[in-house]
Amino acid sequence: MKVRVGVVDSGINPDHPHVGGIAGGVNCHPDGDSTDFIDRIGHGTAVAGAIREKAPEAELYAVRIFERRLSANIETLLQGLEWCLDHAMNIVNVSVGTANPHHRDRLEDLVRRARERDIFVVSAASLLPGMIDGAIAVAADPECDRNRCRFQDGIFWAAPWPRPIPGVPPERNLKGVSFAIANCTGLLARSLESRTPVDAYEHLLQSTRLVR
């Protein structure tokens, strides 16, 4: 099946060679949605490239919630997440999170509704919504191979590196938990292409047991 992945981030540049086109997208902002989902920061494009590398047949959707910097308020984040549910994404890659406990109830409700629709929410293990039961929690492991992840104590650990850029040393490239999330999303999307959601998750778990 065609796996639909919502990339909740700074948008995507569909012309970047690591991306190779996208299926659509939205720009979420307080004045309402627009179709200006082009990435002007580069972060969302790097995230999309990491996902595309592992799941080349996936349909990527840019859900832009960042403007000129990598921050957004809770209303914009929820607006983007609701768009993903309304447009039947199979996986929602969330590179942003919050430690504010006042937002837990609303994010818990969203994750619950996502799981009822067999939608995976993949986010940082240390923040909401990643730390909510039902979400796929991801943390960064610099020692992990970019093409694999490991599972320990309820958390998927993945490499914090995006797709390599020729001529750019890894230490000068982008890095962080956002790319661990993207690497995990890509592996899950590839697994989901030929499996039911339950089987795809179990397959991902099984593959992590081979990592030492």
pLDDT, tens only, 141-170: 999 999 999 999 999 999 999 877 776 666
Which helix (H) or strand (E) element contains residue 135?
none
How close are the terminal C-alpha atoms of the chain, in Å? 31
Structure tokens at 61: 């959707």
What is the percentage of the chain residues whose pLDDT exceeds 70?
A: 94
**CB neighbour list of residue 63: distance below 8 Å, 6 or more residues apart:** 6, 7, 8, 9, 25, 26, 28, 37, 80, 83, 84
What pLDDT does 25 receive? 97
In CATH, the number for domain 4-208 is 3.40.50.200
What pLDDT does 31 receive? 74
What pLDDT does 212 receive? 38
What pLDDT does 84 receive? 98
What pLDDT does 33 receive? 77
Q: How far is the C-alpha of 211 from the C-alpha of 166, rounded, in Å?
A: 27
In 3D space, the residue among 168, 171, 150 whose CA is nearest the CA of residue 159 turns out to be 150
Q: How far is the C-alpha of 72 from the C-alpha of 13, rounded, in Å?
A: 19
Q: Delimit the domains of the chain by residue range.
A: 4-208
pLDDT, tens only, 7-61: 999 999 999 999 999 999 999 987 777 889 999 999 999 999 999 999 999 999 9
Strand 24-27, strand 4-9: pairing: unpaired
Looking at residue 73, the DSSP 8-state letter turns out to be -
pLDDT, tens only, 164-197: 777 666 666 678 999 999 999 999 999 999 999 9
Give the pLDDT mean for 53-74. 93
- Measured in residues, the chain has a length of 212
Give the pLDDT mean for 120-139. 98
Give the pLDDT mean for 113-137. 98
Q: How far is the C-alpha of 100 from the C-alpha of 95, rounded, in Å?
A: 16
Q: What is the pTM of this model?
A: 0.94
What pLDDT does 82 receive? 97
What pLDDT does 211 receive? 43
Residue 67 clears pLDDT 50, i.e. is over it:
yes
208 band by pLDDT with thresholds 50, 70 and 90: confident
